[in-house]
Structure 1
Amino acid sequence: INILVTPSRRACICDFGLASIVNEITLRLHSTTKAQGGTARYYAPELFQGKSKKNFASDVYAFACVCTEILSGEVPFHESPNDMAVMFKILQGEHPTRPPSCSGTAQLDSLWELLQHCWNGQADMRPTAAQIVDRLVAPSIGATATPSTMDWDEEPSSQIFKSVGYP
């Protein structure tokens, strides 16, 4: 999972497939993932084991990592010095550390529990996008879902390519 931002500052979630096209163009320019040690910090264990290619289940795992980064302000496994150390942690079933900012209330406990489900070591046991949304808007977490009133005025791919200066 990657979060791309349009020129109008709209955050867009995309999968690694589309992101890898954009990354080929932008990594050398200004990629935070390159600066922070690559995408290994967001990889599901099955990707390291060669059992699977990037798919929805691995994106769910990565989504939980992105949530942790948002909550903590630090990349997942920030305490690990390199991708190899991160890979070993993930393969041993470790998850990103719960940040102090994600504790203290029942809602935050429920959110952390959801993230734990997204990090399930068995890809087929991770929640679907619909299940994630249901849990987020449930009273235990209490997030609000506000549909966007802004539609794409171009194909998403053409907007992305324009935003990175691709001809």
Structure 2
Amino acid sequence: MTQTIKEPKQQISPNAVKVWRISDAITYFITLCILIVLLYLQHYYDWKNWVGVILYFIVILVIISSIVEIIFVPIYRQKTWRYDVDEKYIQLKYGGVFMKTHLIIPMTKVQYVNTIQGPLLRKFGLSTIKIGTMASVHEIPAIPEKKATELREKIAYLAGVNESDE
């Protein structure tokens, strides 16, 4: 007798797109600043020409990558991220064009669960839920703050995690 597990239906917040875009923009801005400093140093100290060619090539790749990562990827990630929690399992389903992940975590394997909120997530009223098992840590990103707290409590209750276990 095989039991079919229903596909996860819960979506993460649409505000995740804004958070990821801002985070990626900051990362790419810092990367471009470092590359510009290196290009300046290459010209100032008259390094070999091939160093400048490689640096310009990297700058072009970073600019193209930043356009894709900031404009297109966050929308795709938000639309494809699904999760669900029931009495027996936590399901996480996400992925990209080339590789998709559908993870099923048995409640009996959950050792801890917590919520994390950095400055960007806090600005948009979001939290990330971290679920720890013996093997690894899994995340459900960008859940509205109130819902994340309720979900954390629900997972802790269903998994039998209490304060004395931590």
Output the TM-score relative to the length of structure 2: 0.25
Give the strand-richer structure, 1 or 2. Answer: 2
Output the TM-score relative to the length of structure 1: 0.24
Which is greater in Rg?
2
